[in-house]
Chains A and B, each alone.
Chain A
Amino acid sequence: MAKEKKGVRLEHISKIYQDPKTKKNFYAVKDTSLDIEPGSFVTLLGPSGCGKTTTLRMIAGFESPDEGEIYLGGEPINALTPNKRDTAMVFQSYALLPHYNIFDNVAYGLKLRKMDKETIKTKVTNILKLVGLEGMEARMTNQLSGGQQQRVALARALVLEPGVLLFDEPLSNLDAKLRVSMRTEIRRIQQEAGITAVYVTHDQSEAMAISDKIIIMEKGIVAQMGSPQEIYYHPKSEFVADFIGEANFLKGPLKSKNGSDGVVDISGTKVDVKEIKNFGIGDTCTLVLRPESAVLADAGQLPCRVILSCFMGSYQNYHVMVGDNLVKITDFNPKNKKIYNVGDNAYVKFDPANVHVL
């Protein structure tokens, strides 16, 4: 549907803000370079204050970068005002124009482009069909539910057929269930429209469900970028591992090495690990163990003592102590399994292939 899918390129972008209290300058975004392919769905993920929204607003043109240049479809756009950029943004608060009905909200940008009435009408009708709001043209925005307002905001951006669509935490005002269905919807519409999308969120499951590529940001710096699987299974740092999903970190020295396999000493117990090419004997390894990739058993790699055992329906939630380390385990489908109680001794059991070493 889009006239032309455009890629976005950020070259060494930095943004400096002033702390209102200390009056000191600090980097909100530092030396960030990104290459977003045309037609792809890229998510900027990170905790609040990591610079993800600032980055998005720099692409939209609301903020100006202090260093570097932004390109949209190969053109440098640093000096362009937001109204001259081929971007359309979906705001966190939806930002619908409250004095217009749905039709006029969606038609607003088209009217500014001086299209004739018939074209506008066709375009608006088509786009409202795409987002599932047919026949609601005459409603005022305050007569809509949160999800419907979200759809109007999306339609209003899509109808402009922008080179890139920008999302600023669009689902954070919706309730949990609606959030899940809306994110599937957004993904479907983006793919149907074949449009480039940059999406900002602090919700890691949303990011994984929706993206071709995730960019994790920490304190203004890109911590890691890659496909959801890459990031989840091969996090480059404890921060990334912990931010995307839950993770247990077990530290110990590398005892022996055989090609890419090796043995690490965790609290006095020898544990087999894989993929340790970059480590030498005696180096400290951090084992990243996802709670769902381990179970409790009467025999396994690491002896432990149970300190919390809690039934959660779809899984049994355990907290166990391995030496001085707290390890969280989610044992799925616990119905016909042995349940360990607080104070029991057991073993943490896992497949070495499921452990990622840092």
Chain B
Amino acid sequence: MAKNQSASLDRKKFFADPIMVTTIVVLIAFLTLFILYPLAILLVDSFVTDQGIGFSVFRRIMKMSNFRRAITNTLKVGFLVGIASALIGLLFAYVEVYVKLKTRFMEGLFKVVSMLPVVSPPFVLSLSMIMLFGKAGIITRFLLHIYDNNVYGFWGIAIVQTLTFFPVCYMMMRGLLKNIDPSLEEAARDMGATRWKVFMTVTLPLILPGLGNAFLVTFIESIADFANPMIIGGSYDTLATTIYLQITGAYDKEGASAMAVVLLGITLLMFIVQKYYLEAKSTATLSGKASRQRMLIEDRSVTIPLTILCSLLAIFVVMMYICVPFGAMFKTWGYDFHLTTKWFKQVFTKYKGLKAFKDSFVLSLVASPITALLSMIISYLVVKRKFKAKGFIEAVSMLAMAVPGTVLGIGYIRGFSAGVFRTGFLQGLYGTGAILVIVFIVRSLPTGTRSGISALRQIDKSIEESAYDMGADSLTVFMTVTLPLIKDSFLSGLVTAFVRSITAISAIILLVTPQYLLITVQINEFAEKGAYGIACAFASILIIITYSAVLLMNLVIKYFGTSRNYREE
């Protein structure tokens, strides 16, 4: 019994559609060249030396005590941040889904907390951490009169990363908790369990895989993070910063490649566990939709402590963010609190701010529509079409999620500075704006693809089949049916890609040439120098740009997004 005929017929039908074939070929070429190839070249670099293939480079870097320390540092931070973020995320999610919040204020606070990390550049919290708790920090120096507080190092990174990443866990856990059928818990209550007992024996076991999932996602984010350890790490080096210094400081390309392979190995391992084991498990236990509204907890002995705890945390986070624009409005933070506009002025007069904003803005603006369209095309192919290379496309676009920016940056340097495979082919790309745009695309592609895939999975397969049946070819189906149906996802993908690109730093900082001034690179530079006023001014303007982009998106979706009208159907 062989499926020869159907296979050959399917192939014939497939090749009868030249547009789709071309799209797939181009897509495969893009993914191979800009995701797989740079990673492959890192492997080549770290295994192949003049003496042949071997572990000599690894042996050399493992002898470096700072590298060994960086590994343990990174894992320690990642572990703590993962646990803390997952738990705080769970707390927030639980309070939102289970506890009756009386005030509009609290609801607003929750919304802001979930929104802030999306719109702000990754290292903003490090900046404000230093300004609040550092040697010249308002809280440490002026409120507590501690003059030599050291925020740099393990705790600095851990706190800042936790505050940056827990909102992601909060969103993940909220989705899971909402999917628990309230009657499960009511049944347990009815049989005589206390609320605490219900939480420990019913709710917690149900969301445990999800909690593990949240932990690993944060863990990966934490060990891949470059900007925060760079600014607030001080002498506490993590893998990402060590790799950066190895290539920019020691100019040791092979060593940096091998270190990048080690970092990639760790994130990849975590990613595989998360993706193929926990993610499947966390949704499998909670397949059913809640059958009806949950009775919210009104018991004051529960609501009051939980509300206070969440509010304090949320207010702390908001305060950290507010600190940034204030930092740009005082003459000398920590010493001279006279209001001034000098930092904002200097951004444009002294530090070529206009060019920096223009460069960042234009490059991100070019990258975001390409990213959004590309991720929608990938999701369409993955969800709706059957073809051989589908597994490859899906795997590689998801793989990009597990690749830390620093690793990608090193890969691009090694892979493109002398052309593809050092042949000079495509060498012209290196050092141009185009390669920056490509990095932006590759960095945002997985997020967009993931949201596109989940949007498309909700759409009945036969809707597209019906259009196909009525005589439309793949391109027409995609343009007239698929894309309009996932318009919201496309729009939010567009803005997410823009925001991610304009706030990106880890890979970009390795690839940017003096020709381009990027805001994030500027902020990083000033923050490292200790020029917080000017760094804050840059960061404030950046936040305004990203926040406006998100506002604009919400407005557009509200008035032009069609999905809402028929999603209920």
Q: Which residues of A come within 8 Å of B, CB atoms?
A: 15-16, 25-27, 60-67, 78-84, 87-89, 91-93, 95-99, 108-109, 112-113, 140-142, 156-157, 160
Contact = CB atoms under 8 A, between A and B. Distances in A.
B463 A82 contact: no
Given A66-B5, A112-B470, A160-B470, A81 B465 contact: no
A87 B471 contact: no
A142 B566 contact: yes
Nearest to B562: A99
Contacts of B484: 99
B322 interface: no
Nearest to A83: B471
A97 B569 contact: no
A299 to B, nearest CB: 57
A27 B3 CA distance: 10
A112 B471 contact: yes
Interface in B471-494: 471-473, 476, 480-481, 484-485
A65 B5 contact: yes
Nearest to A92: B462
B477 to A, nearest CB: 8
B469 A89 contact: yes
Nearest to A87: B469
Closest A-B pairs by Cβ, 3 of them: A109-B470, A64-B9, A98-B566
A95 B9 contact: no
B1 interface: yes
Contacts of A64: 5-6, 9-10, 13
A97 B463 contact: yes
Given A16-B3, A25-B3, A66-B4, A82 B469 contact: yes
B462 A95 contact: yes
Nearest to A27: B1
Nearest to A104: B480
Contacts of B466: 89, 91, 95-97, 156
A91 B466 CA distance: 8
Given A98-B566, A112-B471, A142-B565, 8 more contacts: A16-B3, A79-B9, A81-B468, A88-B470, A97-B466, A98-B485, A98-B569, A112-B476
B566 A16 contact: no
28 contacts: A15-B6, A16-B6, A61-B469, A63-B6, A64-B6, A64-B10, A65-B9, A66-B3, A66-B5, A67-B5, A83-B469, A83-B471, A83-B473, A88-B470, A89-B465, A91-B465, A91-B466, A96-B463, A97-B466, A97-B467, A98-B485, A98-B566, A99-B566, A112-B472, A141-B566, A141-B569, A142-B565, A156-B466
A12 to B, nearest CB: 11
A240 to B, nearest CB: 27
A91 B462 contact: yes
B471 A65 contact: no
B336 interface: no
Contacts of B17: 81
Contact of B566 (A27, A81, A140): A140
Contacts of B480: 97, 108
Size band of the B side of the interface?
20 to 34
Nearest to A18: B3
Contacts of A113: 471
B556 interface: no
Contacts of B29: none
A113 B470 CA distance: 10
B468 A16 contact: no
B16 A81 contact: yes
Nearest to B483: A99
A216 B13 CA distance: 30
B104 interface: no
Contact of A25 (B1, B465, B472, B569): B1
A156 B568 CA distance: 23
Contacts of A82: 465, 468-469
A97 B464 CA distance: 8
Contacts of A26: 1
Contacts of B566: 98-99, 140-142
Contacts of A98: 463, 485, 565-566, 569
A109 B462 contact: no
Contact of A160 (B12, B13, B471): B471
B460 A95 contact: yes
Given A25-B1, A83-B473, A93-B460, A108 B467 contact: yes
Interface string B1-34: 1111110011011001100000000000000000
A108 B470 contact: yes
A89 B116 CA distance: 48
A64 B8 CA distance: 9
Given A95-B460, A112-B476, A140-B566, A156 B9 contact: no
A79 B13 CA distance: 6
Nearest to B10: A64
Interface string B449-468: 00000000000101101111
A16 B472 CA distance: 27
